[in-house]
Amino acid sequence: MQYNQHTLQKLLLLLICVGLWSTSSYASNRYYADNTLEPTSGFAWDWSAGAGYYIEDSYLVGMDSYSDGLELDINLAVSYERFYLDIDHSQLSGGIIIGYSIINKYDWDLDILGTNIQAGFDETGLDFYNSGTVPELAGIRSRKYDFDTGLRLTRRFENSQISFEYLHDISNAHNGWVINSFFSHILPWQNWEFRTGVGISAYSADFTNYYFGITADEATAQRPVYQTDNSVSVIFEFHAEYPLNQHWVFLGGLLSTWFSDEITNSPIVSQGYQHKAMVGVRYVF
């Protein structure tokens, strides 16, 4: 499925805004080298809030391939000794993370991690609060949000970071495993801070079939039974920040994900990719 002209125009506008808005700010996203997810002396916390305008498409059949709107940007990083809680929505790869630092030495980190990997969905689509059933998804069972725990090994460099994660679902959603690897680089330029990252994730057959498989009870004439094997996705992220003054920060980003055939060939998947772009501001307290 291709973007229509309206979508391309808005994506171009977003990228132009990021390029024209020419005191680094700090992030706590675990994927980047300046994250704050490391041991502290006693209790420490930091937070910021803002809002942004986003454009995204959906990989599910029957869903609008173009959607946009306003989205809140809430970020909270809390740590006590080796424990930490991070809620990060300033970057598109962010989320909610609970962790414990086992090793933090010589630019190496080994953490116990808990986080959500996959959003749930049902016959109304990705938004459980949607009041209407999507005809192409009618009759499918509800897929729950997962919560996965495991180990994360990180090697930090001056402005780069590479990490590897092995996580297993403990929420009784799919009961499968996920392996994440991610390399990121931060490039300061004048008052700008640019972030780029690329990652590869592998998903167990239990994960893939839970979210994208079709059981006999869900099958219809247009939606055949579908069972598959392990799957893979590749992601690319670009993020930019610029401090407007002491407290306000402009931000923009683009996140693209491509799926392997095991996901793309599912009867409830319409395309092998998903893109999301956003621009916004946040207030740093």
Tell me the C-alpha distance between 136 and 26, whole Å: 43
Report which DSSP code applies to 279.
E
User: Mean of the pLDDT values across residues 203-218?
Assistant: 97
pLDDT score, position 81:
92
Q: How many Å from the N-terminal Cα to the C-terminal Cα in the chain?
A: 42
Is it the case that residue 110 has pLDDT exceeding 80? yes
pLDDT score, position 281:
94
What percentage of the chain has pLDDT greater than the value 70? 88
Least confident segment among 87-96, 202-211, 218-227, 248-257: 87-96
Tell me the C-alpha distance between 32 and 192, whole Å: 16
Closest CA to 251 of 55, 57, 32, 53: 53
Instruction: Check if the beta carbon of residue 145 is closer than 8 Å to that of residue 120.
Output: yes
Q: How far is CA 94 from the centre of its chain?
A: 5
Provide the 3-class DSSP secondary structure of residue 12.
helix
pLDDT score, position 127:
64
CB contact set of 226 (below 8 Å; sequence gap of 6+) = 212, 213, 214, 265, 266, 267
Give the CATH number of domain 5-284; options: 2.40.230.20, 1.10.760.10, 3.10.129.10, 1.10.260.40: 2.40.230.20
CB contact set of 91 (below 8 Å; sequence gap of 6+) = 27, 29, 31, 32, 195, 237, 239, 253
What's this model's pTM, rounded to 2 decimal places? Answer: 0.85
CB contact set of 15 (below 8 Å; sequence gap of 6+) = 254, 277
Report which DSSP code applies to 107.
T
Is it the case that residue 3 has pLDDT exceeding 70? no
Phi and psi (nearest 5°) for 264? Answer: -60, -35
